[in-house]
Chain A
Amino acid sequence: MPKHSRWLSIALQAVLFIGIAFSCLIVYNMLPVWDQLSSTQSYVAGGLARGEPVSPKMQAALQRGQEQMYPYLWQLGGVAGMTLSLYFILRLRTKTSRHPQR
């Protein structure tokens, strides 16, 4: 295996590792917000099941929870997408370095 191809392979693994680790960190930060939002959602759902209307305060809490969730979903989508893109770029480079085009 050519030397630079080996380095590309290491970089490939590093990108995957860092991407997954970073995604886990984002999920870890997102969990409390998610927990809060799902509690509010089940509280509202319970009230609706009993035929009680959703109070404006609960509506506002739901909206606030959703607004807090969006940035984490964007972060997660962005980091996961970047990791996959980098992975494909590096894999492409590895392939082309193994089988150089003439």
Chain B
Amino acid sequence: MNPRIQLTLSLITLLFFGVMAVVGFQHAKAAPPAPEIIEREELQNWQYQVVQESKDYVSARVDYSRDSYEALRQYAIVQASLVQGLRKDGIDQLFISVTFRRPLPIVEFREWAKAHNMRVDSFMIRVKSPDGRAVTVGGVPTNGQIVEDDHLQRILQRVVAHGATDVQGIFSADGVSSITSYSKISTSKEVFISDVTRSVILHRLAKKHPTIQLQAQSIIIPSPFSRMEELGLDKFQ
């Protein structure tokens, strides 16, 4: 090939790759977009904020006082009035997060979920090590069973390998229930908090910002159970 043509082609290639490198450096220099708070509300004794984490992902976080037994009890009490509000607005399905007064043994939890017509989406298990260290293990229903034995073995395997062998039971479960089943769940003697703030946030957001696509599982509710353990589970019986 003619050296002149070769030289021209090489120069064009050089220019092309030069532009490519410059674009790469410019993009790396640009700071990633900071998460933007798109909604924030303070309601009675709890609050929430909705955050646009990325272009396609919106999350929310609930916050409430976990300072004392009384603060937790007030948060538990306020849930009933929130359900009343949702009922008035014609909501019939609730996203519910249940925290038990004590870890329920697996068999007992299976029976409890069936008896209270709750569709369980996930649950949390308390496991303790011989030195008293508390470990939380998360699980989900698999193969149509609320807590499948194989799945349970699999998720517990890792913590058991690290010395946490005392499986105390399930202390919290997230899922869906009908509004008619709510009173049965909330008055169940095993339940301390039947949290419906997920439904409240979704409902309020749908009214105020119908374009925001927030999914129930993207709403984080801090579990009160560790605090309950610190305060002494006897108080919550």
Residues of A participating in the B interface, judged by any CB pair closer than 8 Å: 50-52, 55-57, 59-60, 63-64, 67-68, 70-82, 84-86, 88-89, 92-93, 95-96, 101
Q: Select one of B3, B26, B57 contacting A56, CB under 8 A.
A: B57
State how many angstroms separate the Cβ of A93 from the closest Cβ of chain B: 8
Q: Is the CB of A75 within 8 A of B24?
A: yes
When the two chains form their complex, are residues A75 and B28 in contact, meaning their CB atoms are under 8 A apart?
yes
The answer to whether B27 touches A70, judged by C-beta atoms less than 8 angstroms apart, is yes
Residues of B within 8 A of A84 (CB): 13, 17
Partner among A51, A73, A85 whose Cβ is within 8 Å of the Cβ of B10: A85
Contact present for B56 and A60 (CB under 8 Å): yes
Binary contact readout B53-64 vs A (1 if CB under 8 angstroms, 0 otherwise):
110110100000
13 more CB-based (< 8 A) A-B contacts, given A50-B154, A56-B59, A77-B20: A51-B143, A56-B57, A60-B53, A68-B32, A70-B27, A71-B24, A71-B27, A74-B27, A75-B21, A77-B17, A81-B14, A82-B14, A89-B10
**Number of B interface residues, CB 8 Å?**
34
Q: A85-B10, A88-B10 are in contact. Are A75 and B17 (CB under 8 A)?
A: no
Using A79-B21, A82-B14, A89-B14 as known contacts, say yes or no to A57 and B57 having CB atoms under 8 A apart: yes
Question: How far apart are B152's CB and chain A's nearest CB, in angstroms?
Answer: 12
Q: A64-B32, A72-B28, A89-B14 are in contact. Are A59 and B20 (CB under 8 A)?
A: no
B21 A78 Cβ-Cβ under 8 A: yes
Contacts of B21 in A (CB 8 A): 74-75, 77-79, 81-82
**In the complex, which residues of chain B have a beta carbon less than 8 angstroms from the beta carbon of A101?**
3
Q: How far is the CB of A94 from chain B (nearest CB, A)?
A: 11
